Structure 1
């Protein structure tokens, strides 16, 4: 195996025991420099996808596109690339593959020439009936150029019998199942849409410093607005379609009353950037409150609270404040490891956590340590971190997790292992604790997680969030998955 033959998943072997983000999308409607603004937004959303990035712009006469594999700073590192993307309207996309391999043909935004002109689309989420729709579309003569489920939107729009762009777009989204936050660009308008349950985030912002008052931003998170000096206007609602054109912003609700909010609860636990505000909640404060609930539910006597960086930091602060135990950075994370240049042999895999994390012996040696992390996936990273902390002199190591046990796979846009590879799916908490090597192990309860998000508790008849990875309660049909199960029997 040579380095050039490694897939991105193999190159990311250090992170193979973590959940990976879905994708990030940005849309710009203004009168100048859409590409630069879009790139700034994508930089801020880099945490949502690190495999590939792309931008499509329109200058009033023609569309321009640039897509590439790698981080935003790698794909758009040459000023000549941004200069090759003129125009005041644009959309951009950061990708982490949940469907389709990592190849240039799968990099978004996807673009097509239609009878009404050019059309580009960028998608965050995952369609649960994409394979069924693809089979039908192929039978009708559609030729797929990628292996990503997002291309289904392009073909559904292409074959629609409606005459205008918006009606074709709505016709398409009414045929898909799953989670989607979409931004799309035609020569006349920027379109943004969320699925009827609003599983993935999408927000609307305003560019106040640009002379044209009709200058707007659509993005996955508010942190993207901050990076380009835009003001937050509001969350786009579940099932809502936003149209931005030369007349301003208008809203359509094509799903009538068949909408409700089942926003992904794991955005608050891990995926969103801490400085974002989503659904009127500060992500950072939500994580602190989760840590406080964790302290109430599974407190243990100890000398120091230590986060597993970086995602465990806010919850650890909340835990420390609620328990009156000192917070210390007992584990230091390297932010410069990136994708290793070393071929991932078994020996190097075993050293992977040490390349990424180092213990701060001065605050651990001789102490009873409470480790705070956001989740446990396979458990291999947790085991190695516990071993590292013990090797640094900890006399006790108690692991506390700022989410309920992850027992089920996600089918709505988050890259998770199959259920049989999730440690919590196959083991009890006591068994997990023994395998990881901690003195004790505790998770925040589902009710505790909901309380931290300002709900009394989880309503079993009408849960307020999508929490399927914890409960197995999937709010959107898993059509393709169920078909595969039937075929395998």
Structure 2
């Protein structure tokens, strides 16, 4: 997001969700700011520009603006001078890391991005930390925000992050593999093979297979040109994405009792289509195992989870969900099991979508009202 103002312009990159964006937008409107989009990232950018115009330096304006933000944010801010600033919110909801190469410095949400661009991963940016890199390649750092109640998003390890990333000292691959091991201990099944739903269910399936002693085989061929169905805005688009993305591998599942490992059940419709596709391919039984607990609560901090009345765990009992999925059995990892699988993380977790306990007070309105 690029914002032009009286003294120049700034560009920001933002990951997260600002829960008081509407109030800040109204404050800035009254001060004469114009808005061209509906994203909270434009509010952040305009707020920083506003604070620059109030006097003080570039870094000071970023910190003053950040102290007015409530919610989740990792920010990169590029000024019209020669400085790049990186900032992580004081709760640490979303990941941010620092890299270095002969070309200079890089900051990214995940270490895999640094690897791809030829940078060496140095360390995670800490919650509340402000990093400044100037045009001469000098880097400085200070704790600019906080203290605050910490809460790294637990769902990053379940679903969002790429498998080859290391986030807050924990390998995403190792976390997902251990989720599968825990699942096998908590919810064993009499089956012939284990299959994972691409992509974020694959490592958990490997862990389940290793713990249970069952062979792990590919259950699907994935169309690599379709993105993640979870983030499509309408149910029809999500259904179409699932149909186009995953084709059952009949030779591996026909006549077999299958343990199917997936990362989550949110609304419950796409999972049912995946199970039915396996049975249509000849699977004799499908035992569904989920590497995250049931979703009972929405998220206001960057995970696209809808209103609570639309979450299947709030509408149906466990047995009813099993039936609606078309599965022969269903097992979710426990919240304790998930946390134990992710115990190598250097930060405490936000597990509000599972437990209703958030590091910050949640918004007192529905997710739909909040987004509108």
TM-based fold match above 0.5: yes
Match of 1:193 among 87, 91, 98: 87
Q: How far 1:207 moved relative to its partner?
A: 1.1
SS at match of 1:382: helix
For structure 1, the 5+ residue unaligned runs are: 1-108, 457-462
Q: Does 1:251 align with 2:145?
A: no
Closer, same or farther: CA 351–193 of 1 in aligned 2, 3 Å: closer
Distance (Å, rounded) in 2 between the aligned partners of 1:349 and 1:232? 35
Q: Does 1:465 align with 2:356?
A: no
Preserved CA contact (<8 Å) 2:200 2:263: yes
Q: Does 1:170 align with 2:55?
A: no
Partner of 1:394: 283
Distance (Å, rounded) in 2 between the aligned partners of 1:121 and 1:348? 30
Closer, same or farther: CA 171–455 of 1 in aligned 2, 3 Å: same
Q: Deviations over 1:397-423 (max 9, x none)?
A: 100000001121111112222211111
Distance (Å, rounded) in 2 between the aligned partners of 1:119 and 1:368? 57
Q: Does 1:133 align with 2:24?
A: yes
SS at match of 1:404: coil
Q: Deviations over 1:372-409 (max 9, x none)?
A: 00001111111111111112222211000000011211
Q: How far 1:141 moved relative to its partner?
A: 2.0
Q: Deviations over 1:440-482 (max 9, x none)?
A: 10000000001101279xxxxxx92011111111212334748
Preserved CA contact (<8 Å) 1:130 1:480: no
Partner of 1:474: 358
Please list, as runs of the form range in 1=range in 2, the aligned pairs for 1:111-190 lying within 5 A after superposition: 111-115=3-7, 117-160=8-51, 161-186=54-79, 187-190=81-84
Preserved CA contact (<8 Å) 1:128 1:477: no
Q: Does 1:224 align with 2:113?
A: yes
Please list, as runs of the form range in 1=range in 2, the aligned pairs for 1:85-484 lying within 5 A after superposition: 109-115=1-7, 117-160=8-51, 161-186=54-79, 187-208=81-102, 210=103, 215-245=104-134, 246=136, 248-256=138-146, 258-337=147-226, 353-454=242-343, 464-479=348-363, 481=365
Distance (Å, rounded) in 1 between the aligned partners of 2:117 and 2:181? 33
Distance (Å, rounded) in 2 between the aligned partners of 1:390 and 1:357? 14
Preserved CA contact (<8 Å) 2:105 2:137: no
SS at match of 2:86: strand
Closer, same or farther: CA 349–134 of 1 in aligned 2, 3 Å: closer
Q: How far 1:362 moved relative to its partner?
A: 1.3
Distance (Å, rounded) in 1 between the aligned partners of 2:98 and 2:239? 44
SS at match of 2:13: strand
Preserved CA contact (<8 Å) 1:132 1:480: no
SS at match of 2:260: strand
Count of aligned pairs: 361
SS at match of 1:371: strand
Q: How far 1:179 moved relative to its partner?
A: 0.2
Closer, same or farther: CA 426–335 of 1 in aligned 2, 3 Å: same
Q: Deviations over 1:144-166 (max 9, x none)?
A: 12211112222322332232111
Preserved CA contact (<8 Å) 2:75 2:88: yes
SS at match of 1:150: helix
Distance (Å, rounded) in 2 between the aligned partners of 1:291 and 1:112? 49
For structure 2, the 5+ residue unaligned runs are: none
Distance (Å, rounded) in 1 between the aligned partners of 2:235 and 2:50? 50
Q: How far 1:247 moved relative to its partner?
A: 6.3
Q: How far 1:140 moved relative to its partner?
A: 2.2
Q: Deviations over 1:162-201 (max 9, x none)?
A: 3211111111000010000000111121000000011001
- Normalization by structure 1: what TM-score? 0.70
Closer, same or farther: CA 385–121 of 1 in aligned 2, 3 Å: same
Partner of 1:94: none
Instruction: Report the aligned-residue RMSD.
Output: 2.6
Preserved CA contact (<8 Å) 2:14 2:76: yes
